[in-house]
Structure 1
Amino acid sequence: MNQETAQVGHPLALAFRNFSVLLSCTPRGARLARLLTVAQLRAWGLPFETAQHVVAELAANAATHGRLPGRSFRLTLYVVGGTLRIEVTDARGERRPEPQAPGADAESGRGLVLVEALADRWGVTEERFPRKTVWAEVPVQAPEHGFAGSGGAGG
C-alpha cells in the first residue's frame, strides 16, 4: 500500500525520499493521512509539526470537496534536499481550490489560508482528467546529531 523508493546506504537516500499511499476519501482517510505523515517524517528523522498541519488541511479538502463515490485520494511525500513536497491527488479535477476570506464567525473556509501561511509555496496541478493534485512545499532540516537538549530555555 505504501512505497518508499530510497534505499538505505544508497548515496541518494539522504537527498531524495518518497512515500505514497492511497486512502479512502473520508474524514477517517484524512486523519490517517496526517498520522502517516507524522510517522513517516519521524522515521526519516525530520520535523513533522508544520507538515502535519498542511497534510491535515489538504487531505480534509480532498475528503470534503474532492470526493467521488468509490474513489480514493493519494498522499505523496517527497523530500529533496531541505524541502518536503506534499501532494494530495483527488478525483475532482473540475473543483480547483481557492483561498477564501471567511467571516469571523464562520466555522470553515480557512484551510488554504493556513496552508498559504505555513508553506513556502503551494499550488494546483491538473492531472489527466478527472484528477488534480494540490501540492505544498515546506522546508525541513534533519535534527543536529548529538543535541540532547529539550528545546526549552537554557536546554
Structure 2
Amino acid sequence: MSDVNERISTLPIAARQFRVPLSATRRGARLGRLLATEQLRSWGLPLDPARLIVAELTANAALHGRVPGRSFRLALTVTVEGVLRIEVTDTRSDVLPVPQTVATGPAESGYGLLLVAELADRWGVRLGPVPCKTVWAELDPATGARKGVPRS
C-alpha cells in the first residue's frame, strides 16, 4: 500500500485548471485557440509558445481525431511548480500522431508535431479511456517564455 501512496504523492498538484469541450471542426479548433489565449492572459502567463501549441493540437484533433457527433476537449493546467500542461483529448485512439522527423521536401502539412516538439519541453500521447487519446505538451516556466516566437 505504501507504494500506491508514494506514487499518488508524486503526482503534480494543479494550481490552476481550465477545461472546455469543443466541436471537432475548424471552428472548434479556432475557438479553442482563442479561449486558451484568453485563459493564459487571465493567468498572467506568456502567450507564446503555448498558443502555437494549442493551435496545432486543436487543429489536429479537428482534422485527424474527428468522429461525427463527438467533440474533443482542451485542457490547460498549471502546476504549483509553474509547469503549463496542454492536453487535447479526442475520440480517435486508432489514429495516433506520427511526428515528421526531417523535411522530406515540400509539403502543405505534416510538420505540426515537429513544431510542437521544438516548442514544448516535453510532449507525448496517452491512450484511454477507450476510444480516446490525449496528446499533451508541457512548458517549463524557465524555458517556456524563451521558446516564444519573437515579435516583429
Identity of aligned residues (%): 60
Spell out the pairing of 1:2-151 with structure 2 (5 A cutoff). 16-80=15-79, 81-100=81-100, 101-140=102-141
| Aligned residue pairs, count | 128
Deviation at 1:139, TM superposition (A): 2.3
C-alpha distance in 2, partners of 1:93/1:102? Answer: 26
Return the alpha-carbon distance in structure 2 between the equivalents of residues 128 and 113 of structure 1: 26
Q: TM-score with structure 2 length normalisation?
A: 0.80
Cα distance in 2 for partners of 1:102, 1:94 equals: 25
Aligned pair in 2 of structure 1 residues 50, 128: CA closer, same or farther (>3 Å)?
A: same
Structure 1 counterpart of 2:70, which letter? Answer: R
Name whichever structure is richer in helix by fraction. Answer: 2
Specify the alignment match of 2:3 in structure 1. Answer: none
1:17–1:65 distance in 2 versus 1, CA, 3 Å:
same
Partners in 1 of 2:117 and 2:131 — Cα distance?
Answer: 25
In structure 2, C-alpha distance between the alignment counterparts of 1:62 and 1:121, rounded to whole Å: 19
Amino acid at match of 2:57: L
**Matched position secondary structure for 1:49:** coil
Deviations 1:72-110, CA, capped at 9 Å, x for gaps = 000000001221000000000111101024533200000
- Measured in 2, the distance between the counterparts of 1:140 and 1:55 equals 17
Q: Which amino acid letter does the alignment assign opposite residue 125 of structure 1?
A: R
- Taking structure 1 as the reference length, the TM-score comes to 0.79
3-state SS of paired residue (1:32): helix
Q: Deviations over 1:20-71 (max 9, x none)?
A: 0000000111111111111001001111110000000000100000000000
1:123 maps to a residue whose letter is G
Task: Please tell me whether Structure 1 or Structure 2 has the larger radius of gyration of its CA atoms.
Answer: 1
Shift of 1:128: 1.2
2:40 is paired with a residue of what secondary structure? helix
CA–CA distance in structure 2, aligned partners of residues 133 and 59 of structure 1: 11
Q: What is the CA deviation profile of residues 93-149 of structure 1, one whole-angstrom value per residue up to 9, with x for unaligned ones?
A: 1111010245332000000000000000000001111100000001237xxxxxxxx
